[in-house]
Amino acid sequence: MNYDIIIIGSGPVGLSLAKALSSLDLTICIVDQQTKTLLSSPLDDGREVAITHLSKKILSELGSWNLIDEESISLIKEAKVLNGLSPYSLHFSHQETDQVTLGHLIPNRLIKAAAYKTIQNLKNVHCMTETKVKEFSINDTGTIVTLDSGEIINADMIVAADGRLSGSRRQMGIPSEVKDFGKTVIVCKMKHEKTHNNTAYECFHYGRTLAILPMVGNYCSVVITISSDKSTEIMKMTDKDFNQDIQSRFNNRLGDMTVCGEKFSYPLYASHADYFHSERFVLVGDAAVGMHPVTAHGFNLGLRGSYNLANIIKTAQVNNTPYYSKDVLKEYNQKHQLITRPLYYGTNVLVDLYNSERVTAKLIRRLALRFGNNFWPVKKLIMDQLTETH
């Protein structure tokens, strides 16, 4: 059982990296505790993922985009940010860009299923399922990975794509800042009476935020961020009470609203590893950076990082440099940190500002929306960051 690279975790980022590496002369093993059935038909997890233009380009190049049913992809043409109960909004429109949409909204399960499909029949990618990585050791000559089945596999390098509370990052002793917001995200799908006009809303109410993201047809994805001690109350609400609550908090903009199916809840942590590499070891996806979902960057960042990593490895191979060497992994680390750090800290500052009950914070956020609307360079900068058009 010798491979060139072992990827721990077949989430959307681990799978996309496996596909990106598969065009190189490398043997790859990707390990995950999930079953093959779940990987090919993932269960609905309530996440509707906003995909930027850059991610669409990468997913297209990897062959995933064309495997996602076009009818399930919703366009986000406009976005509005609201503060408290004020009707004033910071408004972004695709018309201010050279694109027909600001971004795309896609069910996470479809992104995962497409990514799995791209690697399913590749000769140089072996997917080991229903088993976890228990532990591993790394020395000058390679890596040895022990699975919980007792099986042992070897590789020149390990990539950790095992999510934001990455056990392998911890095992490698890579420090990571973990920010616990003390909040929980609740997501669900709702049907509504009036059309959403492909507009996404982010409403910063006091003590909670409400995002309404346009899905295909008269459906939206509702994302509530609330203090964890109040989340159980919302999860337990009857559908009737929940419908009324969301409808009134959203000022009846979409008319009658009805929840469809299950509500899902996620504890809200953000994390950023101090560095993304070590001896023959590298972090990608949420294992490297776990973002607060408000700026919808988690998967987009992970995808971009793994795509960049694959390209750096490709260049190393062309130059006959071992891809697992310190200099190669250092290059990935430096490039990716330059992208992740401003987004990570910028997002956290924004979250703190819009969650604060302090009078000064309320004043600053009112001014910030007006400044954003009226000062074009700032607006363009925010739009470029959110949509990754350029």
Given candidates 5, 7, 31, 138, which one binds ligand FAD under the rule CB under 6 A? 31
Q: Between residue 50 and residue 69, which ones bind ligand FAD under the rule CB under 6 A?
A: 50
Is residue 285 near ligand FAD by the rule CB under 6 A?
A: yes
How many residues lie near ligand FAD (CB under 6 A)? 33
Closest CA to 269 of 206, 348, 349: 348
Q: Between residue 208 and residue 267, which ones bind ligand FAD under the rule CB under 6 A?
A: 266
Looking at beta carbons only, is 373 or 389 nearer to ligand FAD? 389
Is residue 20 near ligand FAD by the rule CB under 6 A?
A: no
Given candidates 20, 28, 32, 304, which one binds ligand FAD under the rule CB under 6 A? 32
CB neighbour class for 343 (10 Å; exposed up to 12, middle 13-18, buried from 19): middle
Q: In this structure, what DSSP letter does residue 258 have?
A: E
Parallel/antiparallel/unpaired status of strands 152-160 and 28-31: unpaired
Q: Which stretch binds ligand FAD (CB under 6 A): 7-15, 57-65, 310-318, 323-331?
A: 7-15
- Angle, helix 376-387 to helix 359-374, in steps of 10 degrees: 90
- Minimum Å gap between C-beta 13 and ligand FAD is 3
Helices (H), the chain: 12-22, 36-40, 53-62, 108-120, 167-171, 228-236, 239-249, 298-318, 326-355, 359-374, 376-387
Q: Which stretch binds ligand FAD (CB under 6 A): 4-12, 75-83, 361-369, 370-378?
A: 4-12
Q: If you count them, how many residues does the chain have?
A: 390
Looking at beta carbons only, is 35 or 252 nearer to ligand FAD? 35
Q: Are the C-beta atoms of 218 and 191 separated by less than 8 Å?
A: yes
Is residue 196 near ligand FAD by the rule CB under 6 A?
A: no
- Minimum Å gap between C-beta 334 and ligand FAD is 20
Is residue 132 near ligand FAD by the rule CB under 6 A?
A: yes
Rounded Cα distance, 376 and 166, in Å: 40
How would you classify residue 345: left for phi > 0, otherwise alpha for psi between -120 and 50, otherwise beta? alpha
Is residue 169 near ligand FAD by the rule CB under 6 A?
A: no
Is residue 269 near ligand FAD by the rule CB under 6 A?
A: no
Q: In this structure, what DSSP letter does residue 22 have?
A: H
Give the Cβ contact number of residue 345 at 10 Å.
13
Is residue 90 near ligand FAD by the rule CB under 6 A?
A: no
Rounded Cα distance, 311 and 309, in Å: 5
Looking at beta carbons only, is 202 or 286 nearer to ligand FAD? 286
Is residue 47 near ligand FAD by the rule CB under 6 A?
A: yes
Residues that bind ligand FAD (CB under 6 A): 8-14, 31-34, 47, 49-50, 108, 132-133, 161-163, 167, 185, 187, 266, 285-286, 293, 296-300, 302
